[in-house]
């Protein structure tokens, strides 16, 4: 149903996180079984016209690291398999920035960009994300690596800050774009 709703509004991709097996204390799932389920999801998505992307959630008990997401995508054996990765979630899950290096750019469906303050991985939360360049994330390094591996897809600003939700959405979007473009220029300039 979610894929049908996405398609109805013209969307082509949807996040496929480890929802339901993500809370602390959740049992570890068999990632090879998850790859089989992901393949089934991709086949269903092909019928609908929407590509599900394995979403890496740093706070998850499962699929919290980029390598785990890569394993699920790769082992699905499906040509449309892809990842949805995120600056914050790489940090939260403990994936080193260099974990992006072996990824083929086309294997990333969307990359969420944000920044984070100097808080421990164990306590940082979604609402702590800040505009690109306003925190301590190694954004230039991440953006350079994405370019080096051939990623040419969307960079999607993702912030979960209630203070920003109360502001003018167009102003927030413009501010986010300006700050992201400054980081891109710094990385690739």
For 71-91, the pLDDT digits (tens) are 999 999 999 999 999 999 999
- Select from 41, 43, 42, 73 the least CA-distant residue to 56: 73
pTM, rounded to two decimals: 0.91
Cβ neighbors of 3 (< 8 A, separation 6 or more) are 14, 44, 45, 48, 50, 52
> CA distances (Å), 54 to each of 6, 64, 124, 170, 181, in order?
16, 11, 22, 29, 26
CB 107 within 8 A of CB 81: yes
**pLDDT tens profile 144-185:** 999 999 999 999 999 999 999 999 999 999 999 999 999 999
């Amino acid at each position: 149903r979610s894929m049908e709703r996405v398609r109805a509004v013209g969307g082509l991709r949807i996040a496929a996180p480890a929802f339901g097996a993500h809370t602390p204390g959740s049992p570890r799932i068999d990632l090879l079984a998850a790859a089989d389920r992901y393949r089934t999801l991709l086949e269903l998505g092909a019928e609908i016209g929407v590509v599900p992307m394995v979403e890496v959630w740093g706070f998850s008990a499962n699929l919290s690291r980029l390598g785990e997401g890569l394993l699920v995508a790769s082992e699905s054996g499906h040509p449309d398999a892809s990842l949805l990765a995120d600056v914050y979630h790489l940090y939260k899950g403990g994936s080193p920035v260099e974990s992006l290096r072996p990824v083929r750019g086309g294997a990333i469906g969307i990359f969420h960009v944000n920044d984070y303050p100097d808080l421990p991985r164990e306590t940082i939360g979604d609402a702590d994300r800040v505009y690109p360049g306003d925190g301590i994330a190694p954004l230039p390094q991440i953006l350079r690596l994405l370019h080096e591996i051939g990623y040419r897809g969307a960079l999607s600003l993702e912030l979960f800050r209630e203070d920003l939700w109360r502001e003018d959405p167009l102003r927030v979007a413009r501010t986010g774009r300006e700050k992201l473009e400054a980081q891109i220029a710094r990385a690739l300039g």
